[in-house]
């Protein structure tokens, strides 16, 4: 039996298909790739990746120079990734964007994926308490 074919019955009717003449099924002919299976030698790295910078230092300076204005700062392939990232910023989980100075929002993009918007609210110590 070749390594490309199954040695176990895919329908769990018997232990193996070494003798197809005594077997009622044809599962011994099924190749893994025909069943949508690809065996790998090494498991790929985790799906998550390190948090990338939302904006460069220059971009942050531009946003700081335009307080109160929303800016599109990133596009993500996932439909909810921008929303998750925005939530992390607004909850203070991103050290480079403190929620008392920054506000973020994620929106689905009609062409696919999602977009991240960021707004600099102003320096926390310079804003009055009522704003």
Domain that holds residue 110: 57-120
Same domain, 62 and 33: no
Domains contained in the chain, number: 2
Same domain, 28 and 72: no
**pTM here?**
0.57
Same domain, 63 and 116: yes
> Which of the four pLDDT bands, split at 50, 70 and 90, describes residue 6?
very low
**Residue 29, strand partner residues:** none
| The pLDDT of residue 87 | 95
Q: Are 94 and 50 in contact (CB under 8 A)?
A: no
Residue 85 domain-assigned (yes or no):
yes
d(CA 52, CA 31): 41
86: exposed, middle or buried (Cβ count in 10 Å: 0-12, 13-18, 19+): buried
> Which of the four pLDDT bands, split at 50, 70 and 90, describes residue 9?
low
> Which of the four pLDDT bands, split at 50, 70 and 90, describes residue 40?
confident
Same domain, 64 and 113: yes
Q: Which residue bears the tokens 């909850």?
A: 91
3-class SS of residue 73:
strand
> Which of the four pLDDT bands, split at 50, 70 and 90, describes residue 91?
very high
Q: Is the pLDDT of residue 85 over 90?
A: yes
Longest dimension (CA), the chain: 85
Same domain, 114 and 68: yes
Same domain, 63 and 34: no
């Amino acid at each position: 039996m070749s390594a490309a074919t199954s040695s176990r019955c895919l329908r769990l009717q018997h232990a193996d298909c070494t003798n197809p003449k005594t077997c009622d099924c044809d599962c011994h002919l099924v190749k893994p790739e025909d069943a949508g299976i690809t065996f790998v030698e090494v498991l790929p790295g985790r799906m998550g990746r390190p948090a990338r910078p939302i904006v460069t230092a220059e971009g942050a300076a531009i946003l700081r120079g335009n307080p109160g204005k929303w800016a599109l700062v990133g596009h993500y392939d996932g439909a909810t990734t921008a929303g998750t990232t925005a939530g992390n910023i607004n909850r203070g989980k991103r050290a480079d964007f403190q929620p008392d100075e920054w506000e973020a929002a994620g929106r689905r993009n009609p062409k696919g994926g999602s977009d991240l918007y960021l707004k600099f609210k102003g320096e926390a110590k310079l804003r009055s308490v009522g704003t």
